[in-house]
Every structure is written in C-alpha cells, then in structure tokens.
Chains A and B, each alone.
Chain A
C-alpha cells in the first residue's frame, strides 16, 4: 500500500465529529488487531490499530481493507479503553463516500434503497408478496399489541421468509394480536449505516420514524438483529412508548407470561450462534438461550466462542453485498466449531447468519448439521 501522509486538520475534525471523538481515546495498544477475526482467515490481520492510527492522524489515504470490517465489534469487546472502534471504521467509510471512493458495488446498494426501499433491487410493490396467501392484518394500533417488522431481507429472500412464516405461527399459537405494514414498511436503513453513509442514513431514519409515528407504532418486533439495533440505538424516540424488540426477546417474554408453551419435545443436540448485533452490540445473550432451553428434549451445548466471544458470520458491515474470497470466510471456520460440539443443529437468530452459515455448510459438504433460526426450531415445539 502506497502511503501518503497528509495531516489534515479538517479531516481530523470531521472524524472526531463523525465518531463522537472515538478515535481520540485510542492509545495504540494493538489488542484490537490481535483479536480481529480477519486475522484468523487471512493469515495476516487487517491491522485495526493502523486504521485507528490513520484516523488519529486524519489521513487521507484510501485502503481497500477499510471495507473488510464487518462491524462485528469483537475488537470493541476487548478494547481496554472502550473505544467505539466500529464507529471509527464507519467514519472513515463516510470520508471515502465524500471523496467518491466507495467500494465497488456499494453505490448500487444505496441506489437500491433509494429507488426500491430495499437493498436487494427487488420491486417495492412486491415487498409483501411473501404474505399474500396468509391473510395477515394491516397494523392498527387500536387492535394490535405489536407491529411485526419483517425487514427487507426477510421480505424478499425466500430462505429468510421461512423465519417469518415460523414466527407468525408462534404469534398465532400465543394469541398475539399483531399486524404488519406490508408494502408501506419502510427500510430500516441498517445497511446504509453499516457501509458508512451517515448522511443518507440520517435521512432514512427521519423518514422511517415518521412512518412509525404516523402509524402509531409503539411495540415493534423485528426478525433481524440489525434492524433491531438501528431502531433501538439510532432512531429518535418520537414516542415514549416506542419499544423495539428482537423477536428472540419477544418470544422469551411470551414464555415468561406463559402465553407460549412448548409441548412437543425435540430430541436434538443443538448449539447457538450469537449474532453480533444481539450479543455484542446490545448485550443480549439470554433471550435466545431462554427460548431454546425451554424446549423439552433439547440438549444445548455451547461452542467455544460463544456469547460475547461469538465469531461473526461475516455478513455485517455491508459484506452481504460484497464478495468475500474463498478461504477467507468467517462462517467456514464457524461451522467447523459446530462440528466440534457434536450438535446436529446450528441455531441462530439473524437472516444474515443463516445465509452465511448455510453457504459454508454447503461449501464444505457437511451433511450432519442443519442451520435453523430460533423461530424455526421453536415452531416445531408447539402443538398444531
């Protein structure tokens, strides 16, 4: 990499502003670099420390490794200074957008969100096609306890739709009165945030939160931890009662309230992939485990890197839209860990994890392990 050191006060100030001063606190210990999963797959790390240094010096140089970060925040969990390292990456990414130097494929992603209200270049008028035969209600705050926020990936990706179908059965089992927004459901903007376009993200959350406000949304349950994260941490609190939940948290609530009961035993040995955006970004380790362990007959084992140490599936940070070279996929390593547990099912609770992990399982021809989302497992445990 050709290095041009141009100290630029303006860039430094911008970065401080973009990252709420995150870059200033780092004292260059290098723990982040040591712990970053890229070190595991690439043989050499991507030197998070160097990126922090670049940020501190306000450097102008472009670097394609900037786009490798999945924002899994493993580095943040170990940083002795509590630096929001992922934010620094996002800040540097925003500077790249300003210089018209984003990674190839990402402008297409943003345009897709702009014109189609989803990142997958799918027709906006077909967002709720997946539900056309289900007779679901349009969300009405007077009638419904929760808004089920399906999300872009779950709406359009047939594999992820299965998670929604399972969830809906669980809601019905528990007698939950829920509605969806259908084609009016706004994109959460999480992918825009994750590729660093802060300004466009701000525009999206203004517009989307207005939709929620106008529709009287208070309690909201998401399929994806990524949408949950942006609603919970980034959206304006337009309403005191606005309460976003990831569905694992909601299912745990329903179990606690005895509205949901698991009666069919499932005699399987399972393990759990903590999604980064539940475990590390939001400290949610218990809810999915509560749901799984409530299922009679389940034998639950942990992988070595579980909970706060969970190994990212590789899908965050915009990487679902970027090509990751073979041999460099985190999920390939992850499924090996599953084999070590002897589990025959890998449970997770994120559509990106499902996609990456299933790809790795297929790529390595692993017959003995099946990937399921928590909802898909749970629905087997209810009667009917």
Chain B
C-alpha cells in the first residue's frame, strides 16, 4: 500500500486587529502588521499530522504568497510537516478566490500523487469557505467540508469525515483523492517539536515555485484570473466596546435591548 500523502494549504495572514486601510489610496496597509498562520489552518495541519501519526506517510505544506511567508511556514515544519512548497511570483498577486484556487491546484498537481488536501475552513482575512470547494473543483477531487474528525481506509481508498451542520453533524464518506476543510477550533494544534526545529529552519526543507515551475495559464492567475474587483474599501468603525449605558424603567430598557439585537448594532 503506498504511503498516505497529504498536502495542507496554509495561509499566512496579518493579525486582523492590526490591519489599516489607507484612506487616500483605499488600499490595505499590512506592512506594519504582525503575521501569523491563519488559525484555522493550524487546525487543518493538526488534523493532517494526526493522520500521519496513525498511518505514516507525508504531510506537505502548500502556500501562495511573498517570500516573507517563509518563517511562519517553517513553524509548520517544526510541528511535524515534511516539506514546504511556496508558490511565489509577482504575477500571482492581486488574485481573488478563482485565481487563488486555480494557482493552488496547479501547485498540488505539480507536487503529484496527493491523496488528501487539507484546508482551514475559512481564513481570518476574509475569504470565507470558498477555497476548499473551489480547489476541489479545479482538481476534480471529492470533498468533505467543516470536518471535526477524520479517518481514512487505505484498503478501500476512502476518507470518512464528521461534517458540522446546523445543530449537529453528518458522517460522510468519499473516495480518495479528496479535499477536506477542517472546522475551526476542532482540535488543539500541537506545539513545535524542538528536537526538529533546527532541521525545520534549514534551506533544503522549502521549495519556492514561480509561475513557470507550476506551468500555469497566464490568463487564469493573479489579476487577469480574478473576476471580482474591489470598488470601495474603508476602515470599519473601531472594535473597542462601546460602553453605552442604557437607562429607564425595565420595560423601556427591554425595548432598547430588543432594538439593539434587532439592528445587529
């Protein structure tokens, strides 16, 4: 039986509370923001490593972004992943989900012989839940989304996942290969293994691929590959708590509370 081969898609994101919108250029300013691994991707990686603990095999990290993603991605290696593939090319920039999922799918095809692709369910900087099914579509893989527990049957070549639905869950089985999106906070990601940390930060463990390396069609990547455009951008009002005191009789206060809840204020 061949080894289980999992690719985990990891996004490095700025800390949400540190993002600013430049009111003049209407662009996001993330230069000063600290970076972290998109927290749901940590759950995805933990789930993949759990399967590796059980069945052996490989867990590779795939990411798309600029070279400064390197340090956080090596943290993933320190947790127990085997290799990093960073898709980096200035022409990948400005991509919306269609172009991003296309580019990632070409990366996965280039890695080859992949049984499972794990993604976080969503990402803290905005793309909410579209990447996993989009990726599955480009790859023509099956999918199970919002998975809190997973297992594989390598003899029957299937993956079984517990999928979260409103008020409960489903148990779903699909043949390999498949994309799995992992439910946020569904596990506790293991901390780095310091016996392998030095190894994790050695040069050999990361490959950087550009558009030629993964043989993309130019019109499907980056800006040309993105149907959506941002026509307006603004800083949302401050996230600090409002601390507005409501007063009146209990009946009056009750109505004020209802108004607040109803307005989603």
Contact = CB atoms under 8 A, between A and B. Distances in A.
Contact of B195 (A98, A104, A124): A98
B192 A115 contact: no
A107 B190 contact: yes
A107 B15 contact: no
B109 interface: no
A114 B79 CA distance: 13
Interface residues of A, number: 19
* Most B C-beta atoms less than 10 A away, residue of A98, A107, A123, A199: A107
Contacts, number: 38
Contacts of B17: 123, 125-126
Nearest to B195: A98
Given A123-B15, A125-B17, A200-B194, A107 B34 contact: no
Given A124-B34, A125-B15, A125-B17, A199 B188 contact: no
A353 interface: no
B191 A197 contact: yes
B93 interface: no
Contact of A124 (B15, B192, B193): B15
Interface residues of B, number: 16
Interface in A207-240: none
B188 A104 contact: yes
A200 B79 CA distance: 13
Contact of A125 (B34, B42, B191, B193): B34
Nearest to A124: B34
Nearest to A94: B194
Interface in A81-136: 97-98, 100, 102, 104-105, 107-108, 110-111, 114-115, 123-126
Contacts of A110: 191
Nearest to B185: A108
A110 B197 CA distance: 15
Interface in A148-174: none
A125 B17 CA distance: 8
A93 to B, nearest CB: 12
Nearest to B35: A115
Nearest to A123: B17
A217 to B, nearest CB: 23
Given A115-B36, A124-B34, A125-B34, A97 B191 contact: yes
Contact of A111 (B34, B191, B193): B191
Contacts of B36: 115
B30 to A, nearest CB: 13
A199 to B, nearest CB: 4
A107 B18 contact: no
A138 B87 CA distance: 41
Contacts of A200: 191-192, 194
Nearest to A195: B191
8 contacts: A107-B189, A107-B190, A114-B191, A115-B36, A123-B15, A123-B17, A199-B197, A200-B192
Interface of B: 15, 17-18, 34, 36, 42, 75, 188-195, 197
Interface of A: 97-98, 100, 102, 104-105, 107-108, 110-111, 114-115, 123-126, 197, 199-200
Among all A-B residue pairs, the 4 with the closest Cβ atoms: A199-B194, A107-B191, A110-B191, A123-B17
